Amino acid sequence: MRLTPAMELKYWPLGYDEQAGIAAAPDGGAWTTSAVGNGLFRVAADEILDAFSEPKYTSPAPITAGPDGAMWFGDGGSTIRRITSTGAVQNFHAGGEDLAIVSITTGPDGNLWYTKFKPGVAVGGIRSRGGEIVRMSPSGSPTVFKPAVTKDLLPTQIIPGPDGALWFSTVGGLGRITTDGRITEMNLPGGRVADSLAFGRDGAIWFTDARLNRISRIKVAEARALARSVAPKIASKTLRVKKRKVRVKIACPADAGKCTGKVLVRRKKAKLAKGRYSVPGGKTKAAKAKLRAKGKALVKRSSSVKVVVELRPADGGAEVRRKAKLKG
């Protein structure tokens, strides 16, 4: 159906099909997809209805207008299809795991972006799992991005944002992905859950929350301040002392942007060395921790000492620990 600004409704009979997705077309019309695999319907700007049921479809669902004037949609868990206004279809492998394609949109970079996860089944208590965001070029080449923080992210609706990135709803909150694939996850306050979302004229994010039966609004800056921590990793198994400083290799995930904080080397409760680290996202860099008096004395007595390395992220995230050997 179509609702005009004058609040008038226009209906088009589509039989008993359950419509799964709808999107505006570049020509002023609209397309819908049938959840039971019966195909697609197109309502042109002149209100003439067309049905496309060939070739046979698996389960066409999310659909969007592509950057090339055609319509693009997900079909099943492994196929992205492109269809023209005359019904000509091209098929492309969706990339990644065989997960349900949940939402699709055209990004600010001129590529197609879509979300995927494996829906659960209530009978038997099978939980939903997984989570991928895929970028597909207009030529049909997919690039898969996976979250660094939450394995079962369950990304749902994805839309382009006014900041040049894409935003999506996810389990427990919101997500943001840059066009080069850096993912940020954000927890929503007060037990809120985002189902569907859109950017308003005020530049804020508006979203529906079925759990709390409400519509909520959050500013972009407020949402980004709620980002979940992306933990760095300690890459060193053996620590070397040079000029009274301990070198600790630290790897920062690409999704983090930058990892900063304090590094500490200890043996039981004794603090042997401490310093700071600052590592760009996607890089591994050696931080230097200055030996303290206890550390200097221990290194003089023993050529190899079992220690624990601790990272304390500046963003307040959980501490990261690893056992290592300290050699003078």
CATH at 112: 2.130.10.10
Burial of 204 (0-12, 13-18, 19+ CB in 10 A): middle
Of the three residues 194, 224, 254, the one that is the final residue of a domain is 224
30 and 169 inside one domain: yes
Q: Which residues pair with 89 in a beta bridge?
A: 83
CA dist 228 → 12, 79, 149, 157, 185 (Å) = 45, 32, 8, 19, 5
**Sign of the dihedral defined by the CA atoms of residues 99, 105, 106, 108, in that order:** negative
Question: 111 and 135 in contact (C-beta within 8 Å)?
Answer: yes
243 and 189 inside one domain: no
98 and 33 inside one domain: yes
Structural tokens at position 62 = 């999310």
Q: Can you give the pLDDT at residue 55?
A: 67
Q: What residue numbers bound the domain in which 323 lies?
A: 233-327
Query: Who contacts 85 (Cβ-Cβ below 8 Å, separation ≥6)?
Result: 25, 27, 42, 44, 70
212 and 244 inside one domain: no
131 and 253 inside one domain: no
Residues of the chain scoring pLDDT < 70: 1, 3, 12-17, 37-38, 45-46, 48, 55, 121-125, 148-149, 229, 255-257, 315-317
CATH at 312: 2.60.40.10
Q: Can you give the pLDDT at residue 124?
A: 61
User: What total of structural domains would you count in the chain?
Assistant: 2
In angstroms, the CA 149 to CA 259 distance is 14
46 and 70 inside one domain: yes
Query: Who contacts 27 (Cβ-Cβ below 8 Å, separation ≥6)?
Result: 44, 45, 85
Q: Can you give the pLDDT at residue 125?
A: 64
Of the three residues 224, 255, 289, the one that is the final residue of a domain is 224
Q: Can you give the pLDDT at residue 282?
A: 84
Burial of 179 (0-12, 13-18, 19+ CB in 10 A): middle
Of the three residues 164, 190, 224, the one that is the final residue of a domain is 224
Residue holding tokens 């659960």? 120
186 and 283 inside one domain: no
Question: Which alpha helices (DSSP H) does the chain contain, by range?
Answer: 220-224, 293-301
From 279, 283, 262, select the one nearest 271 (Cα to Cα): 262
36 and 167 inside one domain: yes
207 and 295 inside one domain: no
Cis peptide, bond prior to residue 55, ω within 30 of zero? yes
87 and 116 inside one domain: yes
Residue holding tokens 């039966």? 213
CA dist 19 → 31, 70, 270 (Å) = 10, 20, 65
26 and 90 inside one domain: yes
Q: Can you give the pLDDT at residue 37?
A: 59
From 313, 178, 158, 187, select the one nearest 255 (Cα to Cα): 178
60 and 199 inside one domain: yes
| Global confidence as pTM | 0.71
